[in-house]
């Protein structure tokens, strides 16, 4: 550990040689002056050239997926049987047969804990490592990577793929973006439908500007000529960085190609499945190939599973077992398996970190509606690629899945590990004043 002012930071193995350098020697980075040389160096020094976060918004049940308790009383264990995996001694739910056969490609953590049991608050904790209150809100892990790694000039460095910013019905997560780093480091939002049609809500600012209508530079210029008065009225100089990135990427044919899923074979698209989550993960893989540093795929915009207007999140206060059996787990099992296979087959596994997690777990004791409620005291996360040692289980919960009986692992630790693998080392975290007090999950490596 070392200190810069009151900021504490930890490395993977104590104090690194770089930590002894005078902070004045890197003042330009601390002030956010990122050059092309800085971007190239940060990318070279990172194990994870890209990070994909599969954000399972609404909180999936750990007992019914990755931490079954077949010997627990019936009011805990649920109806699903455990099945063996490729990892000796590891069992998962029968709802995850494909992932059971791929346990040699990921590491499983069973001892996650959160400090917050409500969706928006826990969402902020899960994506920043800190509570929303006291303010100011801390930055999303993706915003930290975005600021440190920058962009290669073709695409924004931080993407959200989903229908909108994750929320429950009243309000959205506060920790979705730049936080104290500023809105310049908010994610660029893209929506991908179940048929692979890509929509960029940011571009709705101007009529006629969309990936479908802009097919070449000449047409782009014609569209811009036709909307010049709109640009003048809006004040293009006042656009925030996200909107400017949207405008810029449409001028880059190679950048636009990343969003064209029709370039994929029918076999590959079918492998991911005709679901919003499936095609979104395929888009995430294409963004990895386009060298985007950080991509978060949101399972849903809303946590609610079947509330009118919602979009089938993991918040299964009712019909938990029916939804997991008939919809959620079959989709997740297929898509996550496809993503692992696809990255492996394309030689991208070692340079891409994939993490699947929600904001907390669900009550081990089944509620009086034959479902499960919120449970912050024990849940799971799944890690693959970028040097993570696969085929292992980290942490253990008690006989009912209520609490870890090993050292708990927090979202702050998860975020610190993600940042470390993405090249944001202890010195960089200190300079940015982010992830204060966080430590790396050493057992993953």
Kindly compute the dihedral angle of the four CA atoms of residues 280, 282, 285, 286, in this order, to the nearest 10 degrees: -100
Paired strand residues for 192: 198
How far is 226 from 222, CA to CA, in rounded Å?
6
Tell me the domains of the chain and their CATH numbers.
2-30+47-197+292-444 (3.40.720.10)
Nearest-5° Cα angle at 223, 222 to 226? 90
Q: Beta-strand (E) ranges in 179-246?
A: 188-192, 198-199
Closest CA to 65 of 419, 367, 316, 300: 316
Provide the β-strand partners of residue 357. 55, 381
User: What's the helix, strand, coil split of the chain in %, to 5?
Assistant: 40, 15, 45
pLDDT for residue 217: 47
Task: Calculate Rg over the CA atoms of the chain.
Answer: 22
Give CA–CA dist 190/261, Å, rounded: 13
pLDDT attached to residue 20: 28
Dihedral, 170, 172, 175, 180 alpha carbons, nearest 10: -90
Q: Given this model, what pLDDT does residue 43 score?
A: 62
The confidence score (pLDDT) of residue 247 equals 62
The pLDDT assigned to 212 comes to 56
Per-residue pLDDT of the chain (445 residues; tens, 9 = 90+): 433 344 455 544 443 433 323 323 333 333 334 555 666 566 666 899 999 999 999 999 999 999 999 999 999 999 999 999 999 999 999 999 999 999 999 999 999 999 999 999 999 999 999 999 999 999 999 999 999 999 776 789 999 999 999 999 889 999 999 999 999 999 999 999 999 999 887 666 445 555 555 554 445 555 545 544 444 444 444 345 555 666 666 667 777 789 999 999 999 999 999 999 999 999 999 999 999 999 999 999 999 998 887 889 999 999 999 999 999 999 999 999 999 999 999 999 999 999 999 999 999 999 999 999 999 999 999 999 999 999 999 999 999 999 999 999 999 999 999 999 999 999 999 999 999 999 999 999 9
Q: Which pLDDT score is estimated for 35? A: 58
Decide: 277 and 299 in contact? Cβ < 8 Å: yes
- The pLDDT value given to residue 203: 63
* pTM as predicted: 0.86
Classified as helix, coil or strand, 316 is: coil
């Amino acid at each position: 550990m070392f200190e810069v002012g009151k900021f504490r930071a930890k490395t993977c193995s104590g104090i690194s040689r770089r930590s002894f350098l005078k902070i004045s020697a890197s003042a330009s980075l601390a002030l956010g002056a990122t050059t092309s040389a800085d971007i190239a160096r940060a990318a070279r020094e990172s194990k994870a050239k890209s990070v994909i976060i599969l954000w399972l918004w609404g909180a999936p049940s750990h007992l019914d997926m990755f931490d079954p308790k077949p010997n627990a009383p019936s009011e805990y264990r649920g109806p699903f049987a455990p099945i063996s995996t490729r990892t000796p001694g590891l069992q998962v739910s029968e709802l995850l047969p494909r992932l059971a056969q791929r346990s040699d490609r990921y590491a499983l953590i069973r001892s996650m804990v959160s400090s917050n049991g409500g969706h928006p608050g826990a969402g902020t904790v899960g994506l920043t490592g800190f509570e929303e209150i006291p303010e100011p809100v801390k930055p999303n892990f993706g915003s930290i990577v975005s600021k440190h790694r920058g962009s290669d000039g073709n695409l924004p460095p931080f993407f959200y793929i989903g229908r909108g910013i994750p929320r429950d019905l009243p309000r959205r997560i506060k920790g979705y973006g730049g936080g104290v780093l500023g809105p310049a480091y908010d994610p660029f939002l893209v929506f991908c439908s179940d048929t692979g049609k890509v929509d960029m809500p940011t571009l709705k600012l101007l009529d006629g500007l969309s990936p479908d209508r802009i097919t070449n530079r000449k047409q782009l210029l014609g569209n811009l000529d036709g909307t010049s008065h709109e640009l003048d009225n809006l004040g293009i100089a006042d656009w925030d960085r996200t909107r400017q990135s949207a405008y810029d990427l449409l001028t880059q044919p190679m950048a636009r190609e990343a969003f064209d899923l029709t370039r994929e074979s029918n076999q590959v698209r079918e492998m991911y499945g005709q679901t919003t989550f499936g095609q979104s993960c395929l888009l995430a893989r294409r963004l990895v190939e386009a060298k985007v540093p950080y991509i978060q795929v949101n399972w849903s915009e809303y946590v609610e599973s079947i509330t009118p207007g919602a979009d089938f999140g993991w918040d299964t206060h009712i019909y938990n077992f029916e939804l997991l059996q008939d919809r959620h787990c079959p989709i997740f099992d297929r898509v996550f398996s496809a993503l692992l296979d696809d990255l492996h087959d394309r030689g991208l596994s070692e340079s891409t970190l994939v993490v699947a997690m929600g904001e907390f777990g669900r009550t081990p004791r089944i509620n009086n509606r034959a479902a499960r409620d919120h449970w912050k005291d024990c849940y799971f996360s799944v890690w693959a690629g970028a040097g993570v040692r696969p085929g292992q289980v980290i942490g253990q919960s008690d006989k009912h899945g209520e609490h870890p009986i090993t050292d708990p692992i927090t979202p702050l630790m998860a975020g610190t590990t993600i940042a470390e693998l993405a090249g944001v080392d202890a010195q960089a975290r200190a300079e940015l004043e982010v992830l204060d007090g966080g430590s790396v999950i050493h057992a993953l490596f």
